[in-house]
A = this chain, B = another copy of it.
Amino acid sequence: MNPESTAATPHANAIAAEARGTRPQRTDGHPEIPFTPLVASLPASIPFVGPEALERARNAPFRARIGANESAFGASPAALAAMHDAAMRISWYGDPEVHDLRQALAGHHGVRADEICVDAGIDSLLGLAVRMTVMLDTPVVTSLGAYPTFNYHVAGSGGLLHPVPYRDDLEDLDALAERQAETGAPLVYVANPDNPMGTWHDASRLQDFIDRLPGNTLLLLDEAYGEFAPAGVLPAMDTDDPRVLRLRTFSKAYGMAGARIGYAIGHRDLITGLNKIRNHFGVSRLAQAGAMAALGDQAFLAGVQSAVADGRRRIADFAAGLGLTSLPSATNFVTVDLGGVERARAMLESLAAADVFIRMPGVAPLNRCVRIGVGREDEMTVFEQAFARALPTLPRPPG
């Protein structure tokens, strides 16, 4: 095993028992429950604590909710109206084929409808893609500090994560390709634009990376923030290439995170794989109707894109005015460098005390930064005041 690999399933005995097909007996006082050894070995941890849980813990609401990369600009009025109309048929299941939306998305992206799978958000699609390719001890390559929910799903299938450090706050495509080659990992995860750093690779650079992957490999290309990226960042659609599954969502730029709807685009054999294991009646009828209308309102989307670009500039200028560096961003958040993890943690706590919810990357060296979402005008004002007040109180930078 590569010394940098992370055993997603820590209990080797339980795993060995699963491989033998036997079930270990519980001896810890808990009742006997016939969990698989894998599930028994998983931690009870969760990928993220939600802002509502933080509000309950502090017994006060946030005034600025700019930590979960949600849209500050809501959904298209057309989407809201469509969901309102669809609520009149809320007692009917949604179309399990999600036919109309897939047709519309096919036209939008210039692909075929059978090259699209709609599901209840990218998180759910990540779970399906992992289940479809990962079994016990399957090596999986991702970046160290990238999306924790992907890691959560890999752990849930018993895979072994091989995390590759970022380089200069970018996902290190060369190192990712090398790690894939070393481990023979069938599954690789890349987010472009990236979360939590907001950085990106150009389409040509990404295509070079894809071209280096062997045939029997699947790249999950998470483009949750794709609508915020400038031209030339998203590779051309190429559904003839079975190595790439593109993941898109209505949760970010379209402002519909609370509705739970996203989609995957790829070779139709990849889509068939997802269809073999997905929850066919899992996409809400309201979400389907809302997404159709949202996709049809590209003028609203353009307004959001413009407002988000303005918001990013505002955060970057604000940080620069305080003598701080922020990373260039192709997302709806800006990652601000505070120069050290203690300073970042202290800022998180100071902002929370001032009713501002933000998050920070989870691992070094990314965790010297904090991640600021573009908020509404009132949220930006609350944030700026609290941040400026907190900055002089932080521990001194290391060195």
Within 8 Å by CB of A281, from B73, B123, B216, B290, lies B123
* Chain B residues whose C-beta falls within 8 Å of the C-beta of A43 in the assembled complex: 276
Report whether B91 and A72 are in contact in the complex, using a CB–CB cutoff of 8 Å: yes
In chain A, residues 59-93, which have Cβ atoms closer than 8 Å to a Cβ of chain B? 65, 68, 70-75, 79-80, 83-84, 86-93
* Chain B residues whose C-beta falls within 8 Å of the C-beta of A290 in the assembled complex: 90
Complex-state Cα separation, A255 to B272, whole angstroms: 31
Report whether A259 and B284 are in contact in the complex, using a CB–CB cutoff of 8 Å: yes
Interface assignment of A39: CB less than 8 Å from any CB of chain B: yes
Interface assignment of A388: CB less than 8 Å from any CB of chain B: no
Complex-state Cα separation, A35 to B277, whole angstroms: 12
Report whether B30 and A89 are in contact in the complex, using a CB–CB cutoff of 8 Å: no
In chain A, residues 348-387, which have Cβ atoms closer than 8 Å to a Cβ of chain B? none
* Chain B residues whose C-beta falls within 8 Å of the C-beta of A149 in the assembled complex: 280-281
Write out, one digit per residue, whether chain A residues 117-148 have a CB within 8 A of any chain B CB (1) or not (0): 00011011001000111111110000000000
* Chain B residues whose C-beta falls within 8 Å of the C-beta of A1 in the assembled complex: none
A17 to chain B, nearest CB (A): 11
* Chain B residues whose C-beta falls within 8 Å of the C-beta of A89 in the assembled complex: 258
A14 to chain B, nearest CB (A): 12
Complex-state Cα separation, A93 to B70, whole angstroms: 8
Report whether A273 and B50 are in contact in the complex, using a CB–CB cutoff of 8 Å: no
Complex-state Cα separation, A283 to B282, whole angstroms: 10
* Chain B residues whose C-beta falls within 8 Å of the C-beta of A255 in the assembled complex: 90-91
* Chain B residues whose C-beta falls within 8 Å of the C-beta of A33 in the assembled complex: 216, 218, 242, 267, 269-270, 273
Complex-state Cα separation, A92 to B256, whole angstroms: 7
Interface assignment of A52: CB less than 8 Å from any CB of chain B: yes
Given A218-B34, A282-B120, A258-B94 contact (CB < 8 Å): yes
Chain B minimum-CB-distance residue to A270: B33
* Chain B residues whose C-beta falls within 8 Å of the C-beta of A93 in the assembled complex: 50, 68, 70, 251, 257-258
Within 8 Å by CB of A260, from B34, B35, B52, B120, lies B120
Q: How many copies of this chain does the complex contain?
A: 2
Interface assignment of A36: CB less than 8 Å from any CB of chain B: yes
Binds B, one of A95-103, A223-231, A389-397: A95-103
Report whether A50 and B95 are in contact in the complex, using a CB–CB cutoff of 8 Å: yes
Give the bracket for the number of chain A residues in contact with chain B.
Answer: 35 or more
Chain B minimum-CB-distance residue to A218: B34
Report whether A121 and B70 are in contact in the complex, using a CB–CB cutoff of 8 Å: no
Given A90-B255, A258-B286, A272-B44 contact (CB < 8 Å): yes
Report whether A124 and B282 are in contact in the complex, using a CB–CB cutoff of 8 Å: yes
Report whether B284 and A156 are in contact in the complex, using a CB–CB cutoff of 8 Å: no
Interface assignment of A187: CB less than 8 Å from any CB of chain B: yes
* Chain B residues whose C-beta falls within 8 Å of the C-beta of A132 in the assembled complex: 35-36, 39
Given A50-B97, A52-B99, A133-B35, A284-B287 contact (CB < 8 Å): yes
Report whether A267 and B31 are in contact in the complex, using a CB–CB cutoff of 8 Å: yes
A-B pairs with beta carbons under 8 Å apart, 19 shown:
A23-B186, A34-B218, A36-B131, A36-B138, A44-B275, A46-B96, A50-B95, A52-B95, A68-B93, A71-B91, A74-B90, A75-B87, A79-B90, A83-B87, A91-B256, A92-B258, A123-B280, A123-B282, A258-B285
Given contacts A36-B131, A39-B131, 13 further A-B contacts (CB under 8 A): A23-B216, A33-B267, A47-B280, A48-B280, A74-B90, A83-B286, A84-B84, A90-B258, A94-B260, A120-B260, A123-B280, A259-B285, A259-B286
